[in-house]
Chain A
């Protein structure tokens, strides 16, 4: 079964496409939380943000910024929200990474605002430690990967160099020989 957004690009079904290039499409969907909502998504199918390559997400975000300004000026809103709903828990409805831009008005009552919780110090501290730990692990892994990469590169270089040398020696030897052969 095809995903809704992939189908949308291919069949141009249920949506008004505002802009598209090789990577990205900007559309007005046939469903919305609030009229004026615009959706940006990569044409290639990436289920969640973690699957999408960095350049694509960056391009989506740059365009989201532009669309946000366009909404400000053309629909006369007081503000916009740029939201990535990532994963089922994040409220993602279609399994295709996208950025949504919602136009906002003063006191529009849209459910785009959360109620702040008060966390006690212990809770804050434990959460902080858990995240820090994970980040440290991640950074260690990244460093490990980079080290490996460096090692591989180094090994490759060393592999190549002796070959080059022998080739050069051969050439030199040939030259020396040819010179010697000269009367």
Chain B
């Protein structure tokens, strides 16, 4: 795409501002390459199609037989996808993975979903990659590093409080078989359901409270722990990015 001049950009921004949400959605669809593939404006190698989704061969694949499974309805990011459709996509992914295993005689597959440009999502249309894999193909391989127990615990409590909110669960109602540490049972530390606007702040507060508690409980804090604490703090500060921001990054 040719570079826009300052003037052109301003005009475009003004135009975008005045558009209704419906018009914006329509424009996005028109510009979305995968919507054009689905409406057959762009020719592709179609492997599978049903009323909800379409699977095609990736033309710039990681390996021979790399498939893209695309929902026909336009969703920019995964959290927007309704559960029912996600279930359907999962089923089809499994089916296609099986087909790849048999057809290409490979020893494995990767089901890969990228959420956000930082994770490698290239187009503003949610899709699932199904990649045939062989040992030593060097497509995506890595070794995992050991992480400290303290760090594990911090990550756990940070993600947990948010996850329980999302699932509409109360963290206190964990099953007794769980590894409930005494500090987790303190009522002050449980995330309480808050009105929509307070949600974000409250979780951060809860997270910080947990962290504080964690620090004071431990007599010894090695240097490594301090480093991880600082890292988490740094991360918490930047945590104002909402899902819509992630979706908007594409524009």
Contacts and interface: CB of A to CB of B under 8 A. Distances in A.
Interface stretch (B11-19, B28-36, B132-140, B214-222): B132-140
Interface string A21-41: 000001011111101101000
Contact of A128 (B45, B155, B243): B45
A113 to B, nearest CB: 5
B131 interface: yes
Contacts of A88: 107-108, 135
Contact of A91 (B61, B67, B141): B141
B63 interface: yes
B121 interface: yes
A33 B104 CA distance: 29
A45 to B, nearest CB: 18
Contacts of B113: 81-83
B47 A128 contact: yes
Contact of A50 (B101, B120, B151, B156): B101
A162 interface: no
Contact of A131 (B65, B83, B115, B151): B65
A149 interface: no
B211 to A, nearest CB: 12
A66 B163 contact: yes
Interface size class of A (residues with CB under 8 A): 35 or more
B22 interface: no
B241 A117 contact: no
Interface in B120-148: 120-121, 131, 133-135, 137, 139-142, 144-147
A87 B107 contact: yes
Contact of B135 (A84, A89, A132): A89
B186 to A, nearest CB: 17
Contacts of B65: 127, 130-131
B72 to A, nearest CB: 19
Nearest to A26: B163
A50 B97 contact: yes
B42 interface: no
A108 B61 contact: no
Interface stretch (A69-77, A150-158, A175-183): A69-77
B119 A111 contact: no
Interface of B: 45, 47-48, 57, 59-65, 67, 78-79, 81, 83, 86-87, 90-91, 94-95, 97-104, 106-121, 131, 133-135, 137, 139-142, 144-147, 149, 151-153, 155-156, 158-164, 166-167, 175, 177-179, 200, 203, 207, 228, 231, 235-243, 246, 249
